[in-house]
Amino acid sequence: MPHLSTTLIHADDKNNRVSDVAPPINVATTYRYDNNNLIPWAEQDEMTVLEGEPVYSREAHPNCTRLENIFSDVLDGHAVVYNSGCSAFHAALVHFNPKRFFIGQSYFGCKAIADMITRNYGMEQYTLEDIEKYAQKGDLVHLETPVNPFGTSIDIQSIADKAHAKGALLLIDSTFAPPPLQNPWEFGADIIMHSATKFFGGHSDLLSGVLVVKDQTAARELRHDRIHLGTIIGNLESYLLIRSMRTFEMRVLQQSKNASAIVQFLNNNKSTYDKVVRVLHHSSLQTEPFVAKQLAGGQTPVFSMCLMNQEQCKKFVGKLKYFQHATSLGGVESLVEWRAMSDDTIDQTLLRFSIGCENANDLIDDIKQALQSMQDEN
């Protein structure tokens, strides 16, 4: 198997249909049948029907197929690509259809989808602490790590052991640490999901999600479900995402290094800003041995910082030059978000940072001047 950077650029070479070096954008929703080779649906193999020539773009289209080949190699499994991370998570619930669902601190959109399934079909919900007590065969455990909005890690192996002892499956939302930062398969994951909107997309201009399974049959079944859920990635987005994948490794490694440098600066200088900074959260500040093993390829580019009060948060975000005040994460541009703007369940003095590909020292200088001016005011 070639290395990640090579895979990102060449995993879809086998899908070249024309001589163009950059894959064409296919806007067609429907494709002409080959009149010299007409095989009715009923006579085709139900499981492999989507793997031939494209027919209708809700079923499959060329750039989605390219992406699934890239993601299958990059994420070491059978990848199914969706029009958002939320669609990928919903697809997992529909496919695995658990009677009991176990979830801890996670992205609120995933919780909202689970709540809809509970409302409509009575799926029981429990916390991660309840696995040993209530989990049974066929149930699903959902673990997000590193976790939103803190950027801290939870021990995948310990949750996997608990889930597997009961015959339950473990789904890891690895959005905050895509490869090469973290490989959840090594620690017992059964299913992996990513919001590709974040680091894979990387330019804050497309929505997508990916679900990865170890079993080819499960991937084919997910693609069959996806036809009728209507959740395949769009034509234009699939082109943009392929383009993003080419540079993915360089971007995420730079973002990871930058974030570690910024957190280190903040942690070393907390006392200088003692009237402003209250607490920092990031995987690089965790000392438990599992964290270094799990994030073997680098820290997550997302971290959080709590200030003394909400007024300080409101002021701080306006003093930064290079950090745009916006939700989301994973793009080449650094973002900061006062999380109270979009989440009422979290500490209302928490600022979430998503570090981009700018120069780390420029970002540190920017944060420094904002903190210093607030320290001086107090």
**What are the residues binding ligand PLP (CB under 6 A)?**
84-86, 107, 109-110, 144, 148, 173, 175-176, 195, 197-198, 207, 209
**Quick one: 73 or 173, whose CB is closer to ligand PLP?**
173
d(CA 336, CA 18): 42
**Quick one: 110 or 128, whose CB is closer to ligand PLP?**
110
**Quick one: 100 or 198, whose CB is closer to ligand PLP?**
198
Q: Give me the residues paired with residue 325 across strands.
A: 336
**Quick one: 304 or 312, whose CB is closer to ligand PLP?**
304
**Quick one: 177 or 360, whose CB is closer to ligand PLP?**
177
d(CA 68, CA 191): 15
The distance of closest approach from Cβ of residue 337 to ligand PLP in the complex, given in angstroms and rounded to an integer, is 12
d(CA 370, CA 291): 31
Angle (nearest 5°) at CA 318 between 313 and 322 = 115
**Quick one: 86 or 346, whose CB is closer to ligand PLP?**
86
Q: Which residue is nearest to ligand PLP (CB)?
A: 85
The distance of closest approach from Cβ of residue 202 to ligand PLP in the complex, given in angstroms and rounded to an integer, is 13
The distance of closest approach from Cβ of residue 257 to ligand PLP in the complex, given in angstroms and rounded to an integer, is 21
- The SS3 call for residue 337 is strand
DSSP state of 169: E
The distance of closest approach from Cβ of residue 357 to ligand PLP in the complex, given in angstroms and rounded to an integer, is 19
Contacts (Cβ under 8 Å, ≥6 apart) of 239? 23, 25, 63
**The two three-digit tokens of residue 252, written as one number:** 């995420």
The distance of closest approach from Cβ of residue 194 to ligand PLP in the complex, given in angstroms and rounded to an integer, is 8
**The two three-digit tokens of residue 70, written as one number:** 């890239």
- The SS3 call for residue 34 is coil
The distance of closest approach from Cβ of residue 57 to ligand PLP in the complex, given in angstroms and rounded to an integer, is 20
